[in-house]
Amino acid sequence: MKDNHPNKLRRRLLLIPALLLAVLILKLPLVSDWFKGRPMNYYEEFKATKLSELTENGMREIRYGKQYVLANMLVQALAKDTNVTVLLEPNSYYRENGIDMIVPEPIVFYYYTSGKMKAVWTDSKALYDAKYFIRISRNLDLSIVPLTSRAAIDTVLAEYKNYKATL
């Protein structure tokens, strides 16, 4: 009976051109620049971050940016309340008014707060569950407006009716 496995010499002979082809591709200027800028740069940044004195929360702030900081500021500010749902302004409002901010989508907001707080957008079905409205000014000042009634939520909706709730 004949053995169907290729012999070891043939494997080694095929390995040599494959390695040469990989080296040639990595030496191409465009690929070389990409490799240095992406995978190698990521590895260097990761190593520097890991060796630094940053806490786990500090690393998350660097990685996720303003959105993570916003979510955690709200958790700290509203720590006394339980089962909190906040209403977020639409991102299209920020874009059209030149505000350098993007609020995360509600599920990402929930993740950033470690499940301590929920968020809804102005087009959500659970809109009337919101207890607070989060307003961010042009200079990134944060305002927390209590929503005490359906009329208060309707007032906010009327103010943002021309802005679509999207990323």
- Share in percent of the chain as helix, strand, coil (round to 5): 55, 10, 35
The full set of domain ranges for the chain reads: 8-52, 59-159
| Position 127 pLDDT exceeds 60 | yes
In this predicted model, what pLDDT tens digit does every residue of 106-118 receive, in sequence order?
999 999 998 999 9
Instruction: Please report which confidence band the pLDDT of residue 155 belongs to, taking 50, 70 and 90 as the band edges.
Output: very high
pLDDT digit string, tens, across residues 16-49? 999 999 999 988 999 888 888 888 778 788 788 7
| pLDDT for residue 4 is more than 70 | no
Cα–Cα separations (whole angstroms), residue 74 to 29, 67, 84, 159 = 47, 11, 10, 22
How many residues are present in the chain? 167
Q: Which pLDDT value is given to residue 1?
A: 52
Whether residue 82 is predicted with pLDDT greater than 80 in this model: the reply is yes
Q: Are strands 117-120 and 132-136 parallel, antiparallel or unpaired?
A: unpaired
Binned at pLDDT 50, 70 and 90, residue 121 comes out as very high
